[in-house]
Amino acid sequence: MATNDAPERPAGDTAGASVGPGRLSRRTFVKAFGAALLAAAGGVGLVRSRGYVKPPGATLLALSASEYAIVSAIASRIAATDGVDMPSAEEVGVARWVDGYVAAMDGPLRRDLLRLLQYVEQLAPTAVGYASRFTRLSAADQDAVLAGMEASRIPLLRGAFGALKGCIYLGYYRDSRTWKGLGYDGPLLGRTP
Partner 1 sequence: MTLFEEGRNRTGPATLSVDAVVVGLGAGGSMALRQLARAGVSVLGLEAGGRHTPAQFNQREDEMLPLLFQDGGGRMTADLAIRVLQGRGVGGSTLHNTNLCKRTPSAILEQWALDYGVSGASAADLERSYAAVEADLSITEIPEDAINGNNRLLQRGVSALGWRGGVLRHNRVGCRRSGFCELGCAYDAKQNAAKILVPQAMEAGGRVFSDARVDRILHDGSRATGVAGTFVDDAGNATFPFEIRAKIVVLGGSATGSAALALASNVPDPYDRCGRGLRLHPGSVAAGIFEQPVDAHRGIPQSYECTEYLEFGRGAEKRVWILTAFAHPIGTASMLPGFGAKHMTRMRKYRHLAVFSAMVHDETEGRVIAGEGGRPLLQYAMTEADRRQLAIGLRACGRLLLAAGATEVTFPAIDAPTVTTDAALNALSMDFIRPHTLAMSAVHPMGSMALGDDPKRSVVASTGEHHQLKGLFVADGSLFPTSLGVPPQWSIYAFSHHLSPHMIDAIKR
Q: What span, in angstroms and rounded, lies between the C-alpha atoms of 5 and 14?
A: 15
Q: What span, in angstroms and rounded, lies between the C-alpha atoms of 95 and 75?
A: 7
Angle at 20 between CA 167 and CA 122, to 5 degrees: 45
Return the residue of 14, 42, 50, 57 that touches partner 1, per CB under 8 A: 14
From the list 22-30, 31-39, 52-60, 129-137, the region that binds partner 1 by CB under 8 A is 22-30
Nearest Cα to 127, choosing from 26, 7, 40, 186?
40
**Contact string (CB under 8 A) for partner 1, positions 26-45, x = contact:** xx-x----------------
Q: Does residue number 169 form part of the binding site for partner 1 (CB under 8 A)?
A: yes
Smallest separation, CB 108 to partner 1 (Å)? 5
Contact of 61 with 100, CB cutoff 8 Å: yes
Report 78-137 residues binding partner 1 (CB under 8 A): 78-83, 86, 97, 101, 104-109
Contact of 74 with 168, CB cutoff 8 Å: yes
User: Which residues lie near partner 1 (CB under 8 A)?
Assistant: 1-5, 14-20, 22-27, 29, 77-83, 86, 97, 101, 104-109, 143, 146, 150-151, 155-156, 158-160, 162-163, 165-167, 169-174, 178-179, 181-184, 186-189, 193
